[in-house]
């Protein structure tokens, strides 16, 4: 199985999907790949617009995407895909559409069989057992919280330490503490901006300049960097 | 119907439930009231602890709370309650427990019949038609997104304008824009910290030093202050 699970598409002030593009390029390899793109997390702009935006960056690195929404038979498009790319946006809408179209088991089978999977933000969330560590507003009922479980732990994308000034609500860390209190056997990886989890050759590693913060019930959170081993999370 | 829907319990740096206490006092009136308190949004601390913390503040203003978790029959406790208070915490756990115990229709009946309802944060969210404008992490499946619908619009508590520095995710405004895109006939009130919506005598008003930001599909967001009329939201 090969996974590239990216926290955020874009760093503030940078072009869309710019910082992770070289990792995507290396991950997909030298030979040009046309990946199947799942744009269903887009809410306020069209799936066509989303696919074009992603294609612009992919074509820069010698690869391409085609939107699943243009396929006559989405399940068949998955069956014949050489890579799957799931973009960010609103996790709830993404999961709802993936459930309605029954995409999750099909993608799971293909990825377990070996085709590369790339996700960012919501696209990293749906690689987890459920969407229960998303930050997004639940604008629609997803008709079930379960996701693909390509990894056995939960990712919190866009993990941030900053607490907006004057905000009287819980911090991100407090929210994850609630999660592990309600879900005692699940690890949560707080994946900070500009960082990526990569799984290949049976190894899980962190890429990027910031450590990841790992949470589990009854343990102090720990900070692991790109030189640490993350394989315990896959057990 | 009488509602006091509070954005946040506590302003940063202040004691718990301090800033809204005089509004709560006025809302409940001169005669001492012992309100039924719903502490089920607490995740990382006990319902007893939560109830004590709220009782401390209520007793300062001549009123009291008793936790519903101590009642042998929660539905009977609602039937005989003279006021209902729903505290903040994690909306998802709150809604799950309210659904499991079938509290929502019972509270709704009593509040429509005239007993005062006070909520803050998650407690304001559950007064809305659904939980779909919560900011909280979905740590448990609530077994249904529907809430009490005491008001016909959605509240986004802790509405904030600030975007944490370095954060590559969507702003709160962008999230609400997604909501109104997916839910075209629903108003959303971005309720900023230190502000309260009060409904009584058939009038909905804002209390507090900051305007509320009102969102609806295909309209520019508007800012309304404590001197504006909010009654259109109840139609």
Q: Does residue B40 carry a pLDDT above 90?
A: yes
pLDDT, one tens digit per residue, over B69-127 is: 999 999 999 999 999 999 999 999 999 999 999 999 999 999 999 999 999 999 999 99
CA distance B170 to B191: 18
Q: Give just the sign of the alpha carbon dihedral B22, B28, B34, B37.
A: negative
Instruction: Provide the pLDDT for residue A150.
Output: 98
Decide if B168 touches A, using CB distance below 8 A.
Answer: yes
Instruction: Provide the pLDDT for residue A164.
Output: 76
Q: Does residue A235 carry a pLDDT above 90?
A: yes
Q: Which residue of B has its CA nearest to A176?
A: B137
pLDDT, one tens digit per residue, over A112-155 is: 999 999 999 999 999 999 999 999 999 999 999 999 999 999 99
Q: Which residues of B touch A7 (CB under 8 A)?
A: 168
Instruction: Provide the pLDDT for residue A161.
Output: 87
Read off the pLDDT of each residue in B201-227 and give the average, rounded to a whole number.
97
Nearest to A138 among B90, B134, B163 (CB): B134
Exposure string of A61-75, with b = 16+ CB inside 10 Å and e = fewer, is: bebebbbbbeeeebe
Q: Does residue B163 carry a pLDDT above 80?
A: no
Could you list the residue range(s) of the whole structural domain that residue B30 is in?
A: 3-234
CA distance B148 to B165: 36
The domain that holds A126 is classified in CATH as: 3.40.50.880
Instruction: Provide the pLDDT for residue B161.
Output: 87
Shortest distance, CA B89 to any CA of chain A (angstroms): 8
CA distance B120 to B94: 12
pLDDT, one tens digit per residue, over A70-125 is: 999 999 999 999 999 999 999 999 999 999 999 999 999 999 999 999 999 999 99
Q: Which residues of B touch A183 (CB under 8 A)?
A: 139-140
Q: Annotated catalytic, A64?
A: no
Q: Annotated catalytic, B121?
A: yes
Q: Which residues of B touch A10 (CB under 8 A)?
A: 168
Please provide the average confidence, as pLDDT, over all residues in chain B. 96
Q: Does residue A199 carry a pLDDT above 80?
A: yes
Of A26, A30, A25, A147, nearest in space to B138 by CA: A147
Contact A165 B170 (CB under 8 A): no
CA distance B160 to B173: 8
Instruction: Provide the pLDDT for residue B187.
Output: 98
Percentage of chain A exceeding pLDDT 70:
100
Decide if B4 touches A, using CB distance below 8 A.
Answer: no
pLDDT, one tens digit per residue, over B206-218 is: 999 999 999 999 9
CA distances in angstroms from B130 to A14, A98, B148, listed in the order given: 36, 22, 7
Q: Annotated catalytic, A136?
A: yes
Contact B162 A160 (CB under 8 A): no
Name the pairing type of β-strands A222-224 and A212-215. antiparallel
The residue among B173, B178, B179 with the most chain A CBs within 10 A of its CB, best to mutate, is B178
Complex ipTM value: 0.92
Query: Number of structural domains, chain B?
Result: 1
Residue A44: Cβ-neighbour burial (10 angstroms; 0-12, 13-18, 19+):
middle
Contact A137 B11 (CB under 8 A): no
CA distance A33 to A49: 20
pLDDT band at A26 (very low <50, low <70, confident <90, very high): very high
Decide if A112 touches B, using CB distance below 8 A.
Answer: no
pLDDT band at A168 (very low <50, low <70, confident <90, very high): confident
Q: Which residues of A touch B131 (CB under 8 A)?
A: 138
Contact B138 A145 (CB under 8 A): yes
Q: Which member of A7, A9, A121, A124 is catalytic? A: A121
Contact A43 B181 (CB under 8 A): yes
Name the pairing type of β-strands B84-86 and B34-38. parallel
Decide if B163 touches A, using CB distance below 8 A.
Answer: yes
Question: Do residues A34 and A63 lie in contact, with contact meaning Cβ atoms separated by under 8 Å?
Answer: yes
Contact A169 B175 (CB under 8 A): no
pLDDT band at B140 (very low <50, low <70, confident <90, very high): very high
Instruction: Provide the pLDDT for residue B165.
Output: 75
Q: Which residues of B touch A133 (CB under 8 A)?
A: 137
Q: Which residue of B has its CA nearest to A195?
A: B168
Q: Could you tell me the strand order of the sheet in which B3-6 lies?
A: B64-67, B34-38, B84-86, B117-120, B3-6, B196-200, B203-207
DSSP 3-state percent helix, strand, coil across chain B (nearest 5): 30, 20, 50
């Amino acid at each position: 199985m090969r996974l590239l699970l990216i926290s955020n598409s874009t760093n503030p002030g940078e072009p869309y999907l710019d910082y992770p593009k070289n990792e995507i390029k290396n991950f997909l390899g030298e030979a040009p790949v046309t990946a199947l793109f799942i744009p269903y997390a887009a809410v306020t702009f069209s799936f066509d617009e989303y696919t074009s935006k992603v294609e612009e960056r992919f074509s820069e690195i010698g690869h391409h995407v085609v939107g699943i929404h243009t396929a006559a038979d989405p399940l068949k498009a998955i069956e014949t895909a050489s890579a799957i790319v799931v973009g960010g946006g609103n996790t709830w809408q993404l999961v709802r559409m993936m459930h309605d179209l029954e995409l999750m088991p099909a993608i799971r089978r293909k990825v377990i069989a070996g085709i590369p999977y790339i996700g960012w933000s919501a696209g990293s969330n749906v690689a987890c057992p459920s969407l229960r560590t998303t930050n997004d507003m639940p604008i629609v009922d997803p008709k079930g919280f379960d996701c693909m479980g390509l990894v056995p732990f939960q990712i919190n994308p866009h993990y941030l330490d900053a607490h907006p000034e004057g905000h009287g609500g819980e911090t991100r860390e407090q929210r994850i503490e609630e999660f592990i209190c309600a879900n005692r056997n699940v690890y949560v990886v707080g994946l900070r901006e500009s960082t990526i989890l990569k799984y290949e050759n049976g190894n899980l590693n962190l890429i990027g300049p910031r450590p990841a913060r790992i949470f589990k019930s009854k343990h102090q959170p720990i900070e692991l960097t790109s030189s640490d081993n993350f394989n315990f999370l896959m057990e």
